[in-house]
Structure 1
Amino acid sequence: MARRTEPPASPRSAARRVRQRIERGGERLWRFDDFPGLPPAALAQALSRLAHEGKLERLSKGVYYSPRQTVLGMSRPNPAAIRKLATTRDQPVFPAGIAAANLLGFTTQSVGRSELSTSGYRLPRKLLGSDTVVHTRRPEAWKKLAETDAALLDFLRRAGKPSELSPDDTVQRTLSLCRQGGRFRRLLRVAATEPPRVRGMLGAIGAELGERPTALKQLRDSLNPLSRFDFGMLRGLAHAKDWQAKRHTTQ
């Protein structure tokens, strides 16, 4: 017996189904893929109409957000969800600044303005929001990094300054993160593309983790022996001085 197929939805039927699903779905992001089986033209028209009515906010082509009312006004999209939408295989997007420090456990602080980094040249501003800070042109090597690895490199680039922990606890937390699951070795593989200060900090971290000097030789050779680096919150690393950290003075 032949399988019965559903007739294609009419524009009016599609609009009704889209509206009902969005009203039941609450606050969330919506894409065309969330409405399988509906004619693309009718779906686009239904979403556009809901955006015009204020039921949805169009973030970018084919991406909509259904907000909810809060005591502070209308809600905003979850930054992690937006970051996931903006990420592609050739252009991953990572948390930066306070968001990176929060992910790594250095702070519980959150900020209203998102901060992101990517190896690409630009990101869809409409999707991310005009107030999002975007750091572009991170090294191509970042494309192979996991989110936590990239966040840790961002943290090192800032010399640990987003940390709310004490300097000693910041050092211990950094060492703990580098010990996890071979993370330090992964960072070591991309270290050549990092600024000299980050290479110096990675060298000091590696020495404290007990890495063989031969494994750190490339890092050592890449540094100008006359340079001195501000290790910031990581100045307490046991081998900071050996890796050209500036002497910290208190007033």
Structure 2
Amino acid sequence: MKVAEQIRKSIERIPEGQPFGYADLGIEANDFFSAAKALERLQKNGTIKKVSKGLFYIPRKTIFGELGPDSNELLKRYLFEDGKRVAYETGFSLYNRLGLTTQMAFKIKVATRGNLIKINIGALKVSSVKSYVNITEQNYQLLGYLDALKDIKRIPDCSVVQAVRRMGFLIKDLTTKERKEIIQYALFYPARVRALLGAIVENLNLKLNLDELKTSLNPLTKVNLGIKEAELPTIKNWNIE
């Protein structure tokens, strides 16, 4: 089968708006030149449109005009590599989903252990920060919880006390295995995250060993969160004020 025919048949199976690249078309490396020419012709006749280098989509036509690529599907292209998660959504959009704020984020932030990501394609605007630990499908949600504790004073429309209560509920809802894991991941985060997690877990009386978390903290360092003992009774044990 000629490369152009192979591409045409592959594209027929791709939903409108879904981003795709050479790998999705089953193109061999030695056919890339022919594939590039075929894809260029499809762009010229309007069958497909280019998102970025090596990435395309089939525009969906509506009575209001053409729609751009599916933002969620486009974001996934950057969160996964070869089927493995390499990044996760963090920041205000995540905190909205966690019930910490009602504000919507106009720009998405992702955490990645690899190269920093910057996307400005249509409605999708993405920036990135470095993750504190390697990211997997099993740990990225726990890392998101720790990110929320790190940013607890910066979450819009949410007081520190409200955020502490919400995070306490979410942590209590974790399995025992997940609770132990989040404590281990917290050791790689700033001191304020370690202290706040320790205070929340101790207050929940979850019967977990917090010795390593506590010894990781400098006993002379104070964590200023503007929270009172009546709001989180264990703060003095973790030098939080």
TM-score by length of 2: 0.75
Higher share of residues assigned strand: 2
With over 3 angstroms needed to count, the CA separation of the structure-2 counterparts of 1:37 and 1:203, relative to structure 1, is closer
User: Equivalences for 1:93-242 in 2 at 5 Å?
Assistant: 93-120=87-114, 122-123=115-116, 125=118, 128-129=119-120, 131-136=125-130, 138-143=131-136, 146-159=139-152, 161-162=154-155, 164-165=157-158, 167-179=160-172, 180-182=174-176, 183-212=178-207, 215-231=209-225, 236-242=231-237
SS in 1 for 2:220: coil
Deviations 1:81-100 (A, max 9, x none): 52454423887201121122
Shift of 1:209: 1.9
- State the Cα RMSD in Å: 3.6
Partner of 2:240: 245
State the one-letter code of the partner of 2:9: R
* Conserved? CA contact 1:51–1:58, under 8 Å: no
Find the counterpart in structure 1 of residue 25 from structure 2.
Answer: 35
- 2:75 equivalent in structure 1: 82
TM-score (norm 1): 0.73
Q: Which amino acid aligns with 2:194?
A: R
Q: Is the 8 A contact 2:110 2:129 kept in 1?
A: yes
The structure in which a higher percent of residues are helix is 1
Show structure 2 runs of 5+ residues with no match: none
Q: Distance in 2 between matches of 1:158 and 1:199?
A: 13
CA distance in 2, matches of 1:234, 1:35: 58
Match of 1:249 in 2: none
- Give the C-alpha shift of residue 119 in structure 1: 1.8
SS at match of 2:56: strand
| Secondary structure of the corresponding residue to residue 27 of structure 1 | coil
Deviation of 1:116 after TM superposition, in Å, equals: 0.8
Deviations 1:56-115 (A, max 9, x none): 223343x32344468698535424652454423887201121122123232343323221
Which residue of structure 2 aligns with residue 57 of structure 1?
Answer: 50
Amino acid aligned to 2:193: V
Once the two structures are TM-superposed, the CA of residue 178 in structure 1 deviates from its matched residue by 0.9
User: Percent of pairs identical after alignment?
Assistant: 23
Q: Residues 195 and 217 of structure 2 are in contact (CA less than 8 Å); yes or no, is this contact kept in structure 1?
A: yes
Deviates most, 68-77 or 52-61? 68-77
**What runs of 5+ residues in structure 1 fail to find an aligned partner?**
1-7, 247-251
Of residues 40, 48, 60 in structure 2, which corresponds to 1:48?
Answer: 40
CA shift digits 1:107-128 (9 cap, x unpaired): 34332322111122x1454xx3
- Distance in 1 (alpha carbons) for counterparts of 2:156 and 2:37: 47
- Give the C-alpha shift of residue 10 in structure 1: 5.6
Aligned residues: 230
